[in-house]
Chain A
Amino acid sequence: AQSVAQPEDQVNVAEGNPLTVKCTYSVSGNPYLFWYVQYPNRGLQFLLKYITGDNLVKGSYGFEAEFNKSQTSFHLKKPSALVSDSALYFCAVRDDTGGFKTIFGAGTRLFVKA
């Protein structure tokens, strides 16, 4: 069965410092991995995805994520955090065995302090 875990409910970082939001997953086949961001009173917005290829994926707003197959992880990163990055971040996974269902993590709240 597919599953995704975001081990941190909240991540606090100072503006200008690098940030990491962690995600680990479990799927039967090869994973399709996603990150979404949710700002207050808004729906989820797609940030980036890993399907195949380079393990380092670049996305919107300067975010990137690194796929690590041996550790079954897909951590979200940004070299220099902005206060405006403060939001709720969701990791999601589906597999390539023909199923379409996407499983979302519980979410990690990122708080960037000025």
Chain B
Amino acid sequence: DADVTQTPRNRITKTGKRIMLECSQTKGHDRMYWYRQDPGLGLRLIYYSFDVKDINKGEISDGYSVSRQAQAKFSLSLESAIPNQTALYFCATSEQGSNEQYFGPGTRLTVT
């Protein structure tokens, strides 16, 4: 979905490195989310934000941090990457009160 963009689309990094994944949206939505997708596990929520000053942990936040710099931007950081963080990462947005989410194209991260 072109309204939600993610950079980079693919990244290979080494254990111990710090890495940042960026998400931008032009939908004007207040709510933004970071998920990771692993085969056979569906999507699991890492962090979410309902406003620029609002940051909340999801079900698997350990090893990750986020920053909501503006309504349109929500970045995810891995402070010290480890191999089991190898996954497909998705950013998503939704309107306040709305129920469906709109997803970016994903970032495939490989930690060696």
Chain A residues with CB under 8 Å of chain B are 9, 32, 34, 36, 41-46, 49, 51, 90, 94, 100-102, 104-107
List the A residue with the shortest CB-CB distance to B44.
Answer: A104
List the A residue with the shortest CB-CB distance to B108.
Answer: A41
Query: Which of B12-20, B63-71, B72-80, B94-102 contacts the other chain?
Result: B94-102
- Which of B45, B48, B58, B102 meets A46, CB within 8 Å? B102
Complex contact B45–A51 (CB within 8 A): no
Q: Give the A-B contact count at a CB cut-off of 8 A.
A: 49
- Which of B31, B99, B102 meets A49, CB within 8 Å? B99
A36 CA to B42 CA, complexed, in Å: 11
9 closest A-B pairs by beta carbon, nearest first, are A43-B103, A104-B42, A104-B43, A46-B100, A44-B103, A106-B42, A43-B105, A43-B104, A32-B99
Which residues from A are CB-within-8-Å of B90?
A: 43-44
A105 CA to B31 CA, complexed, in Å: 21
Chain B interface, DSSP helix/strand/loop, else mixed:
strand
CB within 8 Å of A: which B83-112 residues: 90, 92, 99-106
Complex contact A43–B106 (CB within 8 A): yes
CB distance from A81 to the nearest CB of B (A): 23
Complex contact B103–A45 (CB within 8 A): yes
Which residues from B are CB-within-8-Å of A34?
A: 99-100
Chain B residues with CB under 8 Å of chain A are 1, 4, 31, 35, 40-45, 48, 58, 90, 92, 99-106
What are some 10 contacts across the A-B interface (CB < 8 A)? A9-B40, A34-B100, A44-B43, A44-B92, A45-B103, A49-B99, A90-B42, A90-B43, A105-B42, A106-B41
List the B residue with the shortest CB-CB distance to A42.
Answer: B105
Which residues from B are CB-within-8-Å of A9?
A: 40
A46 CA to B41 CA, complexed, in Å: 19
Which residues from A are CB-within-8-Å of B100?
A: 34, 46, 49
List the A residue with the shortest CB-CB distance to B106.
Answer: A43
Complex contact A94–B42 (CB within 8 A): no
- Which of A42, A94, A105, A106 meets B99, CB within 8 Å? A94
Which residues from A are CB-within-8-Å of B44?
A: 104
